[in-house]
Amino acid sequence: MIFLGIDIGTSGTKTLAIDASGKILASDIQEYPCFTPKPLWSEQEPDDWWNATVKTVNNVIKKARLKPVDVKAIGLSGQMHGSVFLDKNDKVIRRAILWNDQRTVAECHEIEKSVESFHLGTLPQGMSLELESVNGRESLIRLVANPALTGFTAPKILWLRNNEPKHFDKLRKVLLPKDEIRRRLTGEYATEVSDASGMLLLDVARRNWSTELLSALQLDIDLLGRVYESEDVTGNLTQSAAKQLGLTTDCLVVGGAGDCAAGAIGNGIVQEGILSTSIGTSGVMFVYSDEVKIDPLGRIHTFCHAVRGKWHLMGVNLSSGGSLQWFRNALCSELVAEAKKKKADVYDLLTAEAEKTPAGSEGLYFLPYLSGERTPHADPFARGCFVGLTLAHGRGHLVRSIMEGVTYSMRDSLEIFQGLNIPVKQIRASGGGSKSPFWRQIQADVFGQRVVTINSEEGPAFGVALLAAVGAGAFKNIQEACKATIKIVKETKPNPKTKKMYDKAMPVYQNLYRSLKDDFRTL
C-alpha cells in the first residue's frame, strides 16, 4: 500500500510517496510564480497549482517505479486562507488572493462591525473565554474563536463584493487552495476542519460552519464546501483526474490539513506537551490542545487540529525565513555570486559570518515585520527595521540580528501559550531554520528550552500522507501513525549564560514595537 501527500505551497507544490511503514519512496517539487499587482497584494493562478500537482505526481510515480494500483490514497495540504473564486461552471473568476495579502483592512473592520451587540448564547462545553464586555472583536472571537485578520478568507470574500461586484455576482463557490485541487481530483466541494478554521467562517468549538456569522455577513452557506475531519475520505479520483495522474479511480482522497496542521502532524504534534516551531517563509509556533482554549485578546489562533476531535493554538509570524531571504536578495548580490563560484549555499556563508558575532548582536535589534505582522500584534501596518545600528556593526551583526529578531517574535507566541497554562515540555523544530545548527541554538537559548529535530524533514506533505494512510485503514488513528514513523534524532540544549542575556533582551525587543506602532501607521 502506497500513500501520496500533496502540499500546495506558496512557492511550489510538493508531492511525496510513502509506504505503510512511513518510509519515503520519492518526492518532487514544481515551482510557480506569485503575483503582486499592487503593494502588499499577493495572488496566484490556481491552474499553476493544478499543473504542478499533475507533474509532481507523475514524477513521483516514475521515480518510485509505482504501478497505478499501488497508490491507495492521497492526502492534501496547502497554504491556508487563500481564496479561489468559482462561477457556476467551476471556472476560476480571478486570481486567487493569498494568505499574505494585506488588502482587506476595511473588510476586517466591516466584519467586526457586523457582529457588534450580537446576541451570543452560552459558550460551548470546554470553551473558556473571560470577557468583561463584548464589542465587535470580542463577539467575533466568541463566534469563531479568532479576530478578523487581513490574511483570513472571509475578509477576502467581502473585498470581492465591495471592490469587484461583477466578479462577486458570478460567485458560486469559494474554496481554499488545497480544496480547489480536491475539486479537480474528485469533483467534490469539500474542506476539512483545520484549514476551514482559518477562513474565519468556522465555528471552531463545534467544528462546522458558523451559520450565525454567515447570516451577519449576508453570505450564503452554499458558497462553502462540506466540512470533514482530516482523516475522513472525501471522494475518489474521477476518471479524468486518474488518467492525468497515472492512477486509478479506486484511489481515495482524504480531508488532509492546512499546511500548519499538516506540518505539525508530520512532526508528531499529536499529544499534549509538545510544541512545534517552524521557520519557513513564515514562522509558526504550534501547540496541541485537548480542549478549546482561546486568548481573549485574539493574539494567537485557536483552530481545529488535524487530530479528530482535538484543537491547536498557533502563533504566526509573516516574515521569518522570509526576512533572511529578503536580506540575501536585496543586499547580498556579491556574496550570492561568490557562493555560486564556490558551489556553496549562500545561507551557509551568511550563517558563518553571524556565528562570529556575539549573542545579542552588540545591541542591534531587527523587527521582522516586512509583511506587516500577525502574532501578537495583528498589525498590517507594522514594518521591518533594524534598530541600534552603529559604525561597529557589519554584515554578520545584521544576519545574526535577523535570526534573533525572528526568534524573539516566535517567543511572543510561546509566552502567550504559557500564560494560558498550556504545557510545553518539548519543542520540535522544522522548516529551513531547523536545518541550521546555529539557528537551532538561538531558538534553544531564546526559548530557554531544549529543541529537538526528528527523522523526517518533509513537513506538510509527509503529514497528509500519514493522514491518507489512516484514512485507508493502514493505521487505527493518526497518533498510532506518528508513533510508528516519527523519531527524535537531534537535541539542542540552551546555553544558560546566553539564555540569561536573551531574557534581558526580550523586553527591549517587545517594547520597540510599542514605541514605533504609531509611526508605522503614519508611514
Find out whether 474 and 1 touch, Cβ atoms under 8 Å. yes
Find out whether 142 and 129 touch, Cβ atoms under 8 Å. yes
Rounded Cα–Cα distance for residues 261 and 312 (Å):
8
Pairing of strands 71-78, 252-254: parallel
The one catalytic residue among 48, 259, 295, 445: 259
Cis peptide before 376 (omega within 30 of 0): yes
Half-sphere exposure of 318 (CA within 13 A, CB side): 28
Q: Which amino acid is at 311?
A: W
Find out whether 76 and 261 touch, Cβ atoms under 8 Å. no
In 280-372, which ranges are E strands? 283-289, 301-304, 311-317, 365-367
Rounded Cα–Cα distance for residues 441 and 433 (Å):
10
Partners of 454 in the β-ladder = 488
DSSP conformation class of 106: H
| Residue (of 255, 293, 258) closest to 272 by Cα position | 293
CA separation, residue 64 to residues 12, 17, 19, 204, 243 (Å): 21, 8, 11, 39, 18
Find out whether 157 and 219 touch, Cβ atoms under 8 Å. yes
Whether residue 259 lies in the annotated active site: yes
Half-sphere exposure of 255 (CA within 13 A, CB side): 25
| Residue (of 197, 287, 186, 190) closest to 240 by Cα position | 186
DSSP-derived 3-state class of residue 192: strand
Rounded Cα–Cα distance for residues 151 and 132 (Å):
28
Q: Give Cα 101 distance to the centre of its chain.
A: 14
Rg (CA), the chain: 22
Q: Give Cα 321 distance to the centre of its chain.
A: 13
Rounded Cα–Cα distance for residues 92 and 95 (Å):
7
- Burial group, residue 249, by CB count within 10 angstroms (0-12, 13-18, 19+): middle
Helix (H) or strand (E) holding 497: helix 496-522
Annotated active-site positions, please? 259
